[in-house]
Each structure stands twice: as C-alpha cells, then as structure tokens.
Amino acid sequence: MAKINQKKYKNAIIFFAQKIKNGTLGKLKMMKLLYYLDFDFFEKYGRSVTGDEYLRFDNGPVPRMGEKMLKEMSGKEIKILRKKIGNGYNDQMLIEAMVDFDVNVFDKEELLMLGEIAAKWEKFTGSEIKNASHGEAPWIAAKPNEAIDYNLVYYRNKYGEMAKI
C-alpha cells in the first residue's frame, strides 16, 4: 500500500464538503465517497488518490485513516454538525467545508475523478451508497474487518460501464 498523502486526503474531503451541500453529506457518505474516489481511480490509473487502505466493515468499505482525518480537520478545515433524526438514536453528522480546497494538490485526472464521484453520488444518501458498495466485488470478496485488496476492483463492472443507479 502506498503512503498516505495527507494533503490530497484532506483536500478530497474539503472538495466533497464544498460540492455536496444538499444535506446528504454525513460521515457514512464521506467514507463511501473516498472509497469510490480511490477505487475508481485505481481501476482507471493503477493507483489510489489518498493512499489509504480500506477495511470491510458492516457499513461498507471504510478508509483506515478516515476517522482520524475527520477529527484532525474538525473545527479547522471542516465543521461536523449533528443533525437530530427522529428519536435521536441515529443522528446524522453533516460535514461542511470551512475553507476552499487546494486545486493545486491534484493532477488533472484526479480533479476529473473527484468531480465525477461528487456528481454521480451527490443525490444519494450514505445508506444508499453503502448498499451500492455491498454489491461490488471488493466488498464481497474481503473478509469482515480485514483490508480490501485494491486489485479486486477489476472484478466489478468495468469503470464507467455500470448503468446509472
């Protein structure tokens, strides 16, 4: 696994927080957006953007360093707001950008992929994206709580081939 690129990682989070402002960007959705960013990019270019490793949890693929990055950024680059839902047992953590993302951190292909991922998943909830990830080879083939092999991406539908969800 490549080394974590903190600048790209943090700026990807800021990018998604800036682009998705419709009240659906919670922690679950952010983790799935990072998964699709890294795995779609790996499928097309043979490397991930953030350099993170993903674990197979019940809520779908989760980046190993995702929680740590959100905590480090909270109150500085992003704010995480708690939105009460129903009885309060399933509060949503909404993520908003406090700063602009640094476009210079990414190359052209990475910026295009960030835009594609944001546009594709913008209107979906975290649960809907989680369910989509559960239908893909990388999540299916990995053992619970273990790292997901990036190479399993080649066993899902080819990049750009999936029908619109």
**Per-residue pLDDT tens digits for 2-58:** 589 999 999 999 999 999 988 889 999 999 999 999 999 999 999 999 999 999 999
Predicted pLDDT at 48: 96
C-beta separation of 108 from 41 below 8 A: no
Residue-wise pLDDT for 56-74, tens only, equals 999 889 999 999 999 999 9
More confident residue, 83 or 78: 78
pTM of the model: 0.90
Inform me whether the pLDDT recorded for 109 exceeds 50. Answer: yes
142 or 90, higher pLDDT: 142
Round to whole Å and give the CA distance between 49 and 45.
10
CA–CA distances in Å: residue 156 to residues 11, 16, 40, 72, 162? 27, 24, 10, 33, 9
Question: Who's near 71: CB < 8 A, 6+ residues apart?
Answer: none
Mean pLDDT, rounded, for 142-156: 93
Question: Residue 101: helix, strand or coil by DSSP?
Answer: coil
pLDDT level of residue 87 (50, 70, 90 thresholds): low
- Residue among 163, 165, 124, 151 nearest 54 (CA): 151
